[in-house]
Structure 1
């Protein structure tokens, strides 16, 4: 399939392997403002876990040109698109790490979907419902094509390790965004208490078909956040996808 340049609207193009998904994510972030956060400083320090092809990082740089962003993306093709998109939009101040983020350092098998790279995951078993719904509503062949997968071995490490080794100067994390297709709790459990104290805002997307939402909300409240959740718009209700926002 490979990367190709897609014009998402007049004046905004990006490199992507899956046009269908890129258009959906662009609508979600840039047009519907579902990732809008109020109260951030002029030059926020932002962590983008599950950066995919970089649309969220670009959105933050568009809104906050002085922002510093660290972006984690384990899939090589996604990471190539991310770097090309940063260059295309002349977005500096973004550091890209070729890692998945989790609760401990390890190697893991990562399932990559070239037609829907944003759905790529450490937990492919959680995609069964989505694939079934797509088969019912888009047709079996379309679902099969969209979920055609390859597997790769990726490095996983804890977020606190990256902060300690590469960003010891960061005393505040203004926004932690997490979109990791089923590994949200693992990311959160890889944050030390000392680093939790630095985090001001959290935004993540959660699949609640296995009941993860309540556990994530409880963990965030335990860490001192005010938490709110709402269904992800434009998604089938049966998928039980939620945005969780947490603020100090």
Structure 2
């Protein structure tokens, strides 16, 4: 049904039409609390719990249908959430799911653009939750310079979750090379492929402290790196 709702074990709710059948199968078979990504969510909540401020600034870079942003605003009502999502269908889903969870519009800053290494526009391959910036073809979407956005914030980013289907290393390099590493205090990075996992680990280890890394965490499709700035 168009308005059927899928309820996760943590209280987050989304419209069932926003979730793929194979994802629901994974949630059920994992027997891990009916969560989207149990290991990543554990670290997300752990890092969130370490932030003393009542109004943490959290970036969700590549937020899909908004799962982690919804979880953030469920757990920390005073948080300032900034969500990046260039795919129009997913951006629409974020707005629908925000309303479904009773979250006021002013609690979420939705940037309908690809986080990128420069301002402009980029080709974007639309492929559900595997959508990504492409060299050619696909949609043309707006692109925002991630380092410039971080620099423009009135305060450092307390936590950034990065899931950009292969562009993770380029964005991390851009932030470092622009002198903005100290402006992001905590990272949760999803990686896509062994080479990117290794290179992201190395770069994060030079500028932050890696507290967890796993190229193939249980019950989720991507590698995972967690890093903090002491």
Task: Tell me the TM-score normalized by structure 1.
Answer: 0.74
Matching of residue 155 in structure 1 with residue 169 in structure 2 = no
User: What's the secondary structure of 1:122's corresponding residue?
Assistant: strand
1:30 is displaced (CA, Å) by: 7.0
Runs of at least 4 residues off by over 4 Å: 9-12, 29-32
User: In structure 2, how many angstroms separate the alpha carbons of the residues matched to 1:5 and 1:22?
Assistant: 16
User: In structure 2, how many angstroms separate the alpha carbons of the residues matched to 1:228 and 1:30?
Assistant: 14
Partner of 1:36: 45
- Taking the TM superposition and a 5 Å limit, the aligned residue runs for 1:1-248 are 5-9=4-8, 12-15=12-15, 16-20=17-21, 23=24, 27-29=35-37, 33-34=41-42, 35-38=44-47, 39-41=50-52, 42-92=54-104, 93-113=107-127, 117-123=128-134, 151-165=138-152, 167=153, 169=154, 171-191=155-175, 193-209=178-194, 211-230=195-214, 231-235=216-220, 241-248=222-229
Q: Structure 1 pair 29/108, CA: closer, same or farther in 2 (3 Å)?
A: same
Q: Structure 1 pair 178/43, CA: closer, same or farther in 2 (3 Å)?
A: same
User: What's the secondary structure of 2:156's corresponding residue?
Assistant: coil
Q: Structure 1 pair 32/219, CA: closer, same or farther in 2 (3 Å)?
A: closer
* Structure 1 alignment gaps of length 5 or more: 125-149
After superposition, give the CA deviation of every residue in 1:67-121 in whole Å (9 maximum; x if it has no partner): 10100000001000001111221224210001111222232221112xxx22111
User: In structure 2, how many angstroms separate the alpha carbons of the residues matched to 1:47 and 1:22?
Assistant: 24
What value does the CA root-mean-square deviation take over the aligned residues? 3.0
